[in-house]
């Protein structure tokens, strides 16, 4: 880090796929005995949806034999197209989608269910009706028993312990912080100037366990304060639990900052403006969404007095943000300019961040202060979840 100068499962191919997607419910159908040795089921989980599109996760449940290397295929509804996908080598020809492993996610143990990849789809609301694994149908035939598909209840992302820390991720609940001021992998300070801002280890307020980090953020420019740590090269998914005391003001503030080595060492910043969450790029002061009334309406304020799970993914030139598991429409960069959302952001060509660090704290560019807490922070190459 330079000196201180962010789940429902089971959607198998069934005739009611379209209705299940619309209702946000998930069902599962076992594979036929002919294919049970290789593939028990392929599940298509709708993580979030909006007018004209959705984000989904694809999981595989292996049968009695392990899977070592996979290619999954399915047909999208007419008019639907994959806009982006991650953790997969993929292509789309007409309505046919094909995706293959990227090496590290090639193996699924016998009987294991593993989430393999995610994708964003536009132009269609219906889920795929059939799937193949290495060219062989999986879950496409009628089940051999009379069991009906079952629904899996949705999970509340704001209660209970944080999701398990997946292999390759870094997860920190701050329970190992023994002093009054954060230490270990975390450094305290600010890039520009510090004043009345304070960072402390707090054992009175915590989301899980007994410990969190409390930030007493001062008003005006020279009262910035953060804790920060270096990021590994493969970090693209982030999760931060945050708790605020004061509603977000009209003036610009920052709560999460990351140095972008690919943008002259300036910061990529997540904070607020006009009372709602926003991303800000320090190098050209571009905002996401655009700070028009229509753009701000596509974001949302951060709740006060409660723990909120903020997730974001930064990969290539794309960016997406979730609050308590729901995608925030105004906080998405997908490469295609959207009026009032990312048109200003994409006016700067070639944006492809190389993030050096993660910093949590408070910057105020007006006369606004806040006391806030951070807990259960995680980052890594795969989605960690709330």
Domain of 129: which CATH number?
2.60.40.290
Q: Is residue 49 part of a domain?
A: yes
Contact call for residues 1 and 228 (beta carbons, < 8 A): yes
Contact call for residues 205 and 212 (beta carbons, < 8 A): yes
Work out whether the CA dihedral 362, 230, 316, 168 comes out positive or negative.
Answer: negative
Q: Considering its fold, how many domains does the chain have in total?
A: 2
Assess whether 289 and 181 both reside in one domain: yes
**How is residue 307 annotated by DSSP?**
-
The neighbour count for residue 133, using CB atoms within 10 Å, is 23
As a dihedral over the C-alpha atoms of residue 95, residue 27, residue 332, residue 96, rounded to 10 degrees, the angle is -10
Assess whether 194 and 114 both reside in one domain: no
**Is the full-model pTM beyond 0.85?**
no
Structure tokens at 294: 């229509």
Cα-to-chain-centroid distance, residue 321: 6
Q: Is residue 23 part of a domain?
A: yes
Assess whether 109 and 197 both reside in one domain: no
Please tell me the distance from the alpha carbon of residue 241 to that of residue 289, in angstroms, as a whole number.
22
Assess whether 207 and 341 both reside in one domain: yes
Contact call for residues 116 and 39 (beta carbons, < 8 A): no
**How is residue 305 annotated by DSSP?**
S
Assess whether 237 and 351 both reside in one domain: yes
Rg (CA), the chain: 22
Range of the domain at 92: 17-138
Q: Is residue 63 part of a domain?
A: yes
Q: Is residue 11 part of a domain?
A: no
Assess whether 114 and 240 both reside in one domain: no
User: Please, what is the Cα angle at 381 between 377 and 386, to 5 degrees?
Assistant: 40
Q: Is residue 9 part of a domain?
A: no
* Digitized pLDDT (tens) for each residue of the chain, 386 residues in all: 443 433 332 333 322 333 333 334 333 333 333 344 778 899 998 877 776 678 889 999 988 888 999 999 999 887 788 988 888 999 998 888 999 998 988 999 888 898 999 888 887 667 888 999 988 888 533 333 333 333 333 334 444 456 578 889 999 999 999 899 999 999 998 776 667 788 999 999 999 999 999 999 888 777 788 999 999 999 999 999 999 998 888 999 999 999 999 999 999 999 999 999 999 999 999 999 999 999 999 999 999 999 999 999 999 999 999 999 999 999 999 988 999 999 999 999 899 999 999 999 998 888 888 999 999 999 999 999 98
């Amino acid at each position: 880090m330079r000196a201180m100068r962010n789940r429902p499962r089971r959607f198998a191919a069934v005739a009611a796929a379209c209705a299940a997607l619309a209702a946000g419910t998930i069902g599962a159908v076992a594979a036929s005995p002919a294919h049970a040795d290789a593939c028990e089921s392929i599940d298509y989980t709708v993580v979030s949806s909006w007018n004209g599109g959705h984000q989904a996760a694809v999981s595989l449940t292996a049968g009695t034999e392990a899977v070592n290397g996979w290619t999954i295929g399915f047909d999208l509804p007419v008019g639907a197209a994959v806009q982006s996908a991650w953790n997969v080598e993929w292509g789309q020809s007409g309505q046919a989608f094909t995706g293959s492993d990227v090496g590290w996610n090639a193996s699924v143990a016998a009987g294991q269910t593993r989430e393999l990849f995610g994708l964003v789809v536009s132009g269609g609301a219906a889920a795929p009706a059939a799937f193949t694994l290495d060219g062989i149908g999986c879950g496409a035939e009628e089940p051999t028993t009379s069991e009906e598909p079952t629904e899996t209840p949705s999970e509340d992302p704001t209660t209970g312990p944080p999701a398990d820390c997946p292999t390759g991720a870094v997860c920190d609940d701050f329970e190992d912080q023994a002093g009054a001021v954060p230490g270990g992998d975390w450094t305290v300070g600010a890039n520009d100037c510090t004043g009345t801002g304070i960072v402390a280890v707090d054992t009175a307020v915590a989301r899980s366990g007994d410990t969190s980090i409390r930030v007493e953020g001062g008003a005006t420019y020279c009262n910035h304060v953060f804790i920060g740590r270096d990021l590994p090269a493969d970090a693209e998914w982030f999760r931060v639990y945050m708790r605020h005391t004061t509603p977000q003001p009209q003036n610009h503030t920052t709560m999460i900052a990351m140095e972008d080595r690919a943008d002259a060492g300036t910061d990529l910043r997540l904070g607020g403006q006009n009372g709602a969450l926003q991303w800000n790029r320090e190098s050209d002061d571009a905002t996401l969404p655009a700070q028009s009334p229509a753009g701000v309406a596509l974001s949302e304020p951060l709740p006060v007095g409660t723990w909120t799970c903020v997730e974001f993914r930064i990969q290539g030139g794309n960016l997406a943000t979730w609050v308590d598991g729901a995608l925030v429409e105004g906080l998405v960069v997908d490469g295609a300019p959207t009026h009032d959302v990312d048109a200003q952001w994409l006016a700067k060509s070639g944006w492809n961040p190389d993030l050096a660090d993660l910093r949590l704290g408070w910057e105020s560019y007006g006369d606004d202060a806040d006391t806030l807490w951070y807990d259960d922070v995680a980052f890594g190459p795969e989605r960690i979840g709330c």
